[in-house]
Amino acid sequence: MAKGKKDKLRVAFIGAGGIAGAHMRYYKEMEDVEMVAASDVMAASVQSRCEEYEIPEAYTDYKKMLKQVKPDAVSVCTPNGLHAPCTVAALNAGAHVMVEKPLAMNANEGQKMLDAAKKNRKKLVIGFQHRYEPRTQFIKKAVDNGDLGKIIYGRVQALRRRGIPNWGVFGRKDLQGGGPLIDIGVHVLETTHYVMGSPKPVAASGSIYTYLGNKKSNVVSMWPNWDHKSYTVEDLAVGQIRFENGATINIEASFAAHIAKEEWNFTLMGEKGGATWDPPGLFTDANDHMVSVKPDWLPTGAAADAFSRKMRNFVDHVHHGKETMAPGEHGLMVQKMLDGIYESAAKGREVRIK
Ligand SMILES: NC(=O)c1ccc[n+]([C@@H]2O[C@H](COP(=O)([O-])OP(=O)(O)OC[C@H]3O[C@@H](n4cnc5c(N)ncnc54)[C@H](O)[C@@H]3O)[C@@H](O)[C@H]2O)c1
């Protein structure tokens, strides 16, 4: 039976750039969602998105949109520096929010977002999609079953050989909070942290280096001609996070690492077994021998689409009362780790995470 309009979740957008387009594509497929409005400071962008996805109202002022449209839920898809003000405004306007990763520029802002959700009794979800991947769930289940014993170490790698974004504001520290660590390292870090059971981070140390993005380059690459003049973020971040339960994570994230092969992977080492994400596999002992376990089949195609699952889970959470797999609190814990690494890099010593 076709659902009536009143049964639909009325969704609006703040930011109508690249990732907003992905949100729109998935919402459009959902029978229980109605996209009611979108806002972007770039009038032409929001207009063309609205035409593409048949969204009736385009705004250049998100505050006006929130006031006039009163959406049930908002996708916040702006550069990182606007995640906090836009999310708080949407929550105060009575909407649930899915905010894109990372949660914010820093944990102080993130805490304000969580406080606003609590105060308004609305739900705040962080747009972490990799936890929804079938291979992530395969490993998560093994960890939760205790197959790997206590996880004592996670190695996180998000390394591009030459992949400095040549669009948007990804090289601007003032608008993004940082470079590859907060932009791509965050993806593999959140997934690893989630699989490890979301332990509480207590200390961080790290170093960051800028040596390439701030210079003009003629090297042939995937995304040439980035804006090197406004590039104020790191090219490479390395760090270590210690957790209350004694576990450790090491992370490496780079837009431009001189390496043979790009890496997008995590490795877990536990007391009884280990795991890798790519390719997905478990390493343990059985029958007095060391054995490897790999899934012989994982869902592929649309059924495996992590982004689709993330969007579906958000709607199920705010509209149908199901649990979310990515609460704002998880975004805040990850943010504290990112902050800790940046703070340690600035201070040249390990820092405590509160
Ligand atoms: N989950 C993922 O895999 C994923 C992938 C890409 C980007 N992201 C995240 O999504 C966010 C946006 O990234 P993007 O790639 O879409 O960038 P983008 O540059 O394509 O889009 C950002 C949009 O925000 C708009 N904007 C700026 N100020 C605004 C304001 N005050 N009000 C309304 N709109 C405003 C810009 O004009 C732009 O159109 C970032 O936080 C990024 O980290 C997530």
Cis peptide before 102 (omega within 30 of 0): yes
Q: What is the pTM of this model?
A: 0.96
Ligand 1 first shell, C-beta below 6 A: 14-20, 39-42, 45, 62, 77-80, 82, 100-101, 127, 129, 168, 183
CATH topology of domain 133-300+334-352: Dihydrodipicolinate Reductase; domain 2 (3.30.360)
pLDDT at 259 over 60: yes
Give the residue extent of every domain in the chain: 5-127, 133-300+334-352
How many CB atoms sit inside 10 A of residue 67's CB? 11
- What CA–CA distances, in Å, run from 82 to 78, 100, 263, 274, 282? 6, 11, 29, 39, 40
Tokens representing residue 12 in the block: 């609006």
pLDDT at 43 over 90: yes
Determine contact, residues 340/241, Cβ cutoff 8 Å: yes
Determine contact, residues 187/130, Cβ cutoff 8 Å: yes
81 C-alpha to center of ligand 1: Å? 10
- The Cα 234–Cα 224 span in angstroms is 17
Q: Tell me which residue has its CA closest to atom 39 in ligand 1.
A: 17
pLDDT on residue 302: 87
Residue 327 pairs with which residues in a beta bridge? 125
Closest by alpha carbon to 94, among 125, 114, 123? 123
- The Cα 191–Cα 184 span in angstroms is 12
pLDDT at 2 over 80: no
- What CA–CA distances, in Å, run from 35 to 26, 62, 158, 279? 11, 15, 33, 37
- The Cα 196–Cα 56 span in angstroms is 43
286: part of which helix (H) or strand (E)? strand 281-286
Q: What average pLDDT does range 34-49 have in this prediction?
A: 98
Equal CATH topology for 5-127 and 133-300+334-352: no
pLDDT band at 6 (very low <50, low <70, confident <90, very high): confident
pLDDT in tens, 127-149: 999 999 999 999 999 999 999 99
127 C-alpha to center of ligand 1: Å? 12
pLDDT band at 298 (very low <50, low <70, confident <90, very high): very high
Q: What is the residue-averaged pLDDT of the chain? A: 97
Q: Which residues contact 319 (CB under 8 A, 6 or more apart)?
A: 9, 32, 72, 73
125 C-alpha to center of ligand 1: Å? 16
pLDDT on residue 333: 98
Q: What average pLDDT does range 70-81 have in this prediction?
A: 98
Q: What average pLDDT does range 231-249 have in this prediction?
A: 98
pLDDT at 1 over 70: no
- The Cα 125–Cα 95 span in angstroms is 12
301 C-alpha to center of ligand 1: Å? 26
22 C-alpha to center of ligand 1: Å? 11
Instruction: Identify the CATH assignment for 5-127 out of 3.40.50.720, 3.30.1950.10, 3.10.129.10, 3.40.50.2300.
Output: 3.40.50.720
Residue to mutate, 41, 113, 176, ligand 1, most ligand atoms under 8 Å from C-beta? 41
Q: What average pLDDT does range 47-75 have in this prediction?
A: 98
pLDDT at 242 over 70: yes
Counting every residue written for the chain, the total comes to 354
List, as one string, the DSSP characters of 260-285: SS-EEEEEEEESSEEEETTTTEEEEE
pLDDT in tens, 279-294: 999 999 999 999 999 9
pLDDT at 346 over 60: yes
